[in-house]
Amino acid sequence: MAGAAMHPVIHTGWAVDVESDNMAAEGLAYMATAFQPLATGAHHSLYQLWSPDAPHPIDMLEQILADDSLSQLTKRAVQLSQTEDYKQLNRGGFQQRLITFDNPNEPMAQFLNDKVVLKLPETGNNLTNSIEALTVMAASIVYGSDNEFFIIHGLTSLHSVLCVLPHLNELAQRDALGYWFRALVATFIIQDRPNHKNTLAIIKRWQADKNTSNNHQLSDDDKAWWLQTLQATTDSLDEHVPKTVYVLKRWAEWQA
């Protein structure tokens, strides 16, 4: 889920979305070769990806975003990634910083295992409300961070995970969502919580507005703006622009 800045699962999930056998083979091979534990390797005996007793995901994210002590984890990940042991891995700056989160002797791993557990219902229960919370988080963080490069991969990889979910059993579905959430939090810490105050404000606005209407109808002006946005993505030389807009379009369709 976290390997190669989330690209392996992105390839796999988007292959499922567009029904491409070749891309699915590529994605599965990529997942196997770029696998990256996040405080879940063999040297971590006690960790929990999800629990029905964890705080609500939105509440947990708000606590994480507001925790100014995380800057120390960011600095420590950078320091450790620049030591000779990590340089020899030759995996690139971002991935080397991410790898430090699996070191059991470092506070990054301890933080993930102490604080980052995704609230999900037990098997046999519907995941719709949990998935809604995760989509709100991913979209809010991208918007709040002003399209920070690695955070965008959190958004597009969640789309991939949701495409793969129907092909997994109920326990594997929950593990996948829990691991994705852990990867998103680790990425956010590595990138030093880009514009996290903006994200907090967006989430609070969503919480205040979410129960006011279930209609979700766009005005004529909003529709015109949205069509212009979709059209403008085809002119972008950055592949991440159309991918991001495509995910938001699909979610809008799924969530009415």
pLDDT tens per residue across span 29-63: 999 999 999 999 888 878 999 999 999 999 999 99
8 Å CB contact between 207 and 58: yes
Collapsing DSSP states into helix, strand and coil, what is residue 119? strand
Read off the tokens for 93.
């700056």
Over residues 185-219, the pLDDT tens digits come to 999 999 999 999 999 999 988 888 776 655 567 78
Q: For residue 71, how many other CB atoms are within 10 A of its CB?
A: 12
* Domain extent listing, the chain: 3-206, 219-256
